[in-house]
Chains A and B, each alone.
Chain A
Amino acid sequence: MYGLNLIHAGFLAAGLAVAIPIVIHLLFRQRSRTVPIGSLRFLRQVVKEHRRRRRLRQWLLLALRMLAVSLLALLFARPYINDAARKGGQQEIVLLVDRSASMQASSGRKTAFAQALANVQEELNRIDENAIIHLALCDSTAVEEIPVDRLAQAQPSEAATDFGLALGWAGDVFAASERSQRQVVLYTDLQRSGVPRGRPAALPDGVELLVKDVSEGSVQNVSIESSEAVHTELRPESNVLVRAVVRNHGLDMLRQTPVVGELSGPAGVMTAKTEVDLPPQSRTIVELPFAITDDAVYRGEVRVDSSDALPLDNRRFLAFEARHPERVLLVDGQEGRSVFSNETYFLETALRLTTEETESRLRSFEPDRMVWEAGEGFPRLDGFRAIVLANVRRLSDVDARRLKEYVEKSGKLLVFTGDQTTRETLAPLAKQDLLPGEVAAAPVNGPLRVDAWDEEHPALTCFRDPQQGDLRRIVLDQALPVESLADGARPLLLSQGRVLAAERRVGAGACLYIGMTADRDWTDLPRTRLYVPLMRQLMAYLTDQLGNRGLVVNRLIRTATEHAGLVSTDGNWIVTNLDPKESALERIDVDELQRAFGGEAVQSEDREVEAAWSKILPAGRQRPEEIWTTILWLLFFVLSAELLLAARVHA
């Protein structure tokens, strides 16, 4: 409504003080003294003219004094113009609707998102038409501004909450605003996880933050926080385990809650089921065994059968590749007295290590060790992806030929030398062109430090980055280098011009020669941190596990239109799941949210209540439409005029 309103209307009572000038006027009116005069003849004509002017001045003086008192009272009452049009013209409002997954929570009635839309519609009906309105939907993926008339079509997303992103966007909007009354109204379920870590960018000065809680308060929620497959290497008598973390966010104990895992594979759908007790506000790890025998990508979901406020997070999708490990034959040319002194001990240990699950395809090796000293020759070589000869002597021509056949059929051969290895012992291999060239007649004494390597070789490319391991740290006490490289051979490691390691393609396979021991006889390499990555890298190269990215990509919801689920593209699987922190419905206090963003937050269900309180209580802050400065100037001019007039009247 148009008009002048007052913040402290009570001060208007001070307006009664206008009586003071009147009293003063009457009390201190000049008392006339009687003076006899001979004739009033000239006085009459003069006084008649003067009296009118004087009376006018006196009334004017009285009016000025009363006006001054009234203005003073008005000044304390802090008037402001409640001009709806003007206010609307100075108003810019950002209406932010949280559309994160948690806004779909409901305990039977409307979801929080539907409630938010209803509240926004009410607010839009209230806002003056001259105000600038920005309506936006926000989650952790983006802030999407939509036209006001498309409010009804707005849909919630399955993304997480991010107040920092939303209010940062609002701050950017207001940074370009020239309007004096700027307000952000945030409709949210006040999910604590939405507050960014660290100190978020504060809202610009003068921006009011109004938070409207649209949730139904504390609700029961159970979620699958994570699901993953462990032991995906297929080994005999070993099941693949799907491990899920089930979290009870509520305050009630849930007993015998069914947790079901379903996987699809070449053999059809497999199901594993268990029942768990879920204590309040706790996590429970559930492992579901699946008897998988075939190499394949298995996909499915783990779900908890519970009726809670947010069904969206009751299941979690997963996919994984399960396969048998790559078999590697380690031929130990010099068995030690103990396991630790075996020639292939360090190599076997390095290959048996399981590495972290990454986006890369799992590198798994199944090393089979045989001692060459027994002289029984090679076993059947078909099942092995690679054969490692470690300090093997007395290779017969038959053995060499078998190796040649093996390599030519895409087999891989890795040869380590040692004190039993000489040019003569390696002659059968050389004869079958299984060596990269002619090796030295006798070992070369060191120290020999690797000073160059083939950075373009797929197995060694990663060592360009010293963070991954610096090959220059490899120092050999002795080595049996390649003296002359054969055609097509590729040197890998060099020291002072000597070729310490080299590769040669043979048929569909390859032979890799390393002129040092696999154990610590000639080098201390196995004790360094470089050993395991170097050996696994070389072996992954030989078993074709290098550079292959995983067939499964796990990710969280990245766009507002995305949904949790499994998508297959070109044989790869994309697993999309909800951000687990979205399942935590723990709420943040409004004041805390306000402090986090440095705005002035007002949590109010009812604006009329707020307006009523603001009339009663001192506002404590200046309203932009206050006109006390105008009143002050007016008072100044009135007092100045009063002073001048009083000086003339009472001179």
Chain B
Amino acid sequence: MTTAASPVTLRELAAPELLAGVEDLDLIARWVVEGFMHGRHRSPYVGFSVDFAAHREYIPGDDLRHLNWKLFARSDRIYIKQYDAETNVDLHLVVDSSGSMTVGDGPASKLRYAATLAASVAHLAAQQRDTVGLTLFADRVLEHYTARGNLDHRLAVLSALSRARPHPPAATARTLHEVAELMPRRGLVVLISDLYYEAEELLSAFDHFRHYGHDLLVLQILSPLERRMPVDGAVKLVDAESGDVLETIAHEIRASYTSAVDTWLRELNRGCLARGIDHRQFTTDEPLDRALMDYCLKRSRLF
């Protein structure tokens, strides 16, 4: 495992343009995670480690609660106590691989963005010695990896994320019920999808996950076009799944469209909030750090 000591910032690393240009998902994930960790005022690890592992020098951003005050008194040097993370959390990455995820008018497609995000989360989880599982789904479960902690498994997960495959359309969220059934052990489920499903079905599926005691973090990925319709003039919009075509003048419908999407997102958000589910929405032109931060916060609240 290569130690990443790159001086580059997270925003540089997690820039979508960069993600699009690098094929090695593992490398990207490490860049992202290391960069993400570097310079945080408050370490995302706080609270979820129990066994002391080693000392390291304090760097700005470390939580002062983990300072070794005794050592500081003896040697007049500031060290942070590092702990081994608990591994009793199963992280299930559920990534939508349906046709609608293949589009993206930004630097990367939604699927590429989702895969990178999933890989980064997996890398973070690995550092915390969490087991990582992966489920790719569309109209059915395409691939499923039960959560495990070894390196080979993690590489298999990354490989599955980066592998090319057909992306069938997924009209309903019923597949998520199947996914929920595949994960009977309680854990942290991170669902990465554009959520183009009926809200009722979707929330029903979330209930299914909650029924099995999963903590659910929903990371909704939309392309800038889908979110804000930033184009002008006449456009012929092609549905990535059904192939349906719709012609319109983009700038004329922008306001109405954005309003409709906002309403949809608010409904989703309200539904998730009612179920204790964290719902975050990103567009593919945004850096990954906000998503990772959300993951870390969610993870930290588990203990």
Which residues on A are within 8 Å of B, measured CB to CB? 30-47, 49-51, 54, 651
26 chain-A/chain-B pairs, Cβ below 8 angstroms: A32-B235, A33-B233, A33-B235, A34-B235, A35-B105, A36-B105, A36-B238, A36-B240, A37-B103, A37-B237, A38-B103, A38-B196, A38-B240, A39-B100, A39-B239, A40-B237, A40-B239, A41-B196, A42-B257, A46-B256, A46-B257, A46-B260, A47-B253, A49-B256, A50-B248, A50-B256
Give the docked Cα–Cα distance between A45 and B105 (Å): 22
* Partner pick for B240 among A31, A37, A51, CB 8 A cutoff: A37
Chain B min CB distance to A35 (Å): 5
Q: CB distance A38 to B110 under 8 Å?
A: yes
Q: How far is the CA of A46 from the CA of B223 in the complex (A)?
A: 18
Q: Which residues of A contact B225 (CB under 8 A)?
A: 35, 37
Contact A38 B226 (CB under 8 A): yes
In the assembled complex, the CB of B303 is this many whole angstroms from the nearest CB of chain A, namely: 36
* Chain A residues within 8 Å of B238, by CB: 34-37
* B interface bracket (residues with beta carbon within 8 Å of A): 35 or more
A41 cross-chain contacts in B, Cβ below 8 A: 196
Q: Check B236 for interface membership: any CB of A closer than 8 A.
A: yes
B202-237 vs A, CB cutoff 8 Å, 1 = contact: the mask equals 000000000000000000001101100001011111
B252 close to A50 (CB less than 8 A)? yes
B63 sits at the interface (CB 8 A):
no
Known: A43-B257, A44-B246, A651-B251. A33 touches B100 (CB 8 A): no
A519 to B264, CA, bound (A): 143
CB closest residue in chain B, given A29: B234
**Cross-chain contact B233 with A30 (CB below 8 angstroms):** yes
How far apart sit A42 and B234, CA to CA, in the bound complex (Å)? 17
Asked if A54 and B252 make an inter-chain contact with CB atoms under 8 angstroms apart, the answer reads yes
In angstroms, Cα B251 to Cα A534, docked, is: 116
User: How far, in Å, is B254 (CB) from chain A's closest CB?
Assistant: 9
- Would you call B260 and A30 a contact (CB within 8 A)? no
Distance (Å) between the CB of A110 and the closest chain B CB? 80
A47 in complex: contacting residue of B100, B233, B248, B251, CB < 8 Å = B248
Q: Which of B110, B231, B244 contacts A40 (CB 8 A)?
A: B244
Please, which residues of chain A bring their CB within 8 A of the CB of B264? 42
Given A32-B236, A32-B247, A49-B256, answer yes or no on A39-B241 (Cβ-Cβ < 8 Å). yes
User: Could you list which residues of chain B lie within 8 angstroms of chain A, going by C-beta atoms?
Assistant: 100-101, 103, 105, 110, 194, 196, 222-223, 225-226, 231, 233-242, 244, 246-249, 251-253, 256-257, 260-261, 264
Contact A37 B239 (CB under 8 A): yes
Contacts A39-B239, A40-B239; A47 near B234 (Cβ below 8 A): no
What's the nearest-Cβ distance from chain B to residue A381, in Å? 134
B233 to chain A, nearest CB (A): 6
With a cutoff of 8 Å between Cβ atoms, the chain B residues found around residue A51 in the complex are 248
* Nearest CB of chain A from residue B201's CB, rounded to whole Å: 13
Q: Which residues of A contact B241 (CB under 8 A)?
A: 38-39
Contact status A35-B236, CB under 8 Å:
yes
| CA A573 to CA B247, docked complex, whole Å | 111
A47 to B248, CA, bound (A): 7
Residues of chain B with a CB closer than 8 A to A651's CB:
251
Contact of B231 among A35, A38, A49 (CB under 8 A): A35
Q: Given A35-B105, A40-B242, output 7 extra A-B contacts at Cβ < 8 Å.
A: A31-B234, A38-B196, A41-B196, A42-B260, A43-B253, A46-B253, A46-B260
Is A35's CB under 8 angstroms from B257's CB? no
Q: Are A40 and B235 in contact (CB under 8 A)?
A: no
Q: Which residues of B contact A36 (CB under 8 A)?
A: 103, 105, 237-240
A41 to B247, CA, bound (A): 14
Partner of A38, one of B222, B235, B236: B222
- Cα A49 to Cα B260 in complex, Å, equals 13
User: What is the CB-to-nearest-CB distance from A224 to chain B, in angstroms, rounded to a whole number?
Assistant: 98
Could you tell me the distance between the alpha carbons of A30 and B105 in the complex, rounded to whole angstroms?
21
Residues of chain B within 8 A of A50, CB atoms compared: 248-249, 252-253, 256
- Cross-chain contact A37 with B226 (CB below 8 angstroms): yes
Residues from chain B with Cβ under 8 Å of A47 in the complex: 246, 248, 253
**What is the CA–CA distance of A542 and B110 in the complex, to the nearest angstrom?**
146
With A and B bound together, what is the CA distance between A196 and B101 in angstroms? 103
Cα distance A45–B110 in the bound complex, in angstroms? 24
Shortest distance from the beta carbon of B113 to any chain A beta carbon, whole Å: 12
**CB < 8 Å neighbour of B237 from A31, A43, A45, A54:** A43
Q: B residues within 8 A CB of A37?
A: 103, 223, 225-226, 237-240
A52 to chain B, nearest CB (A): 12
On chain B, the residues within 8 Å of A49 by CB distance are: 256
- Kindly provide the distance from the CB of B26 to the nearest chain A CB, expressed in whole angstroms: 27
In angstroms, Cα B161 to Cα A132, docked, is 99
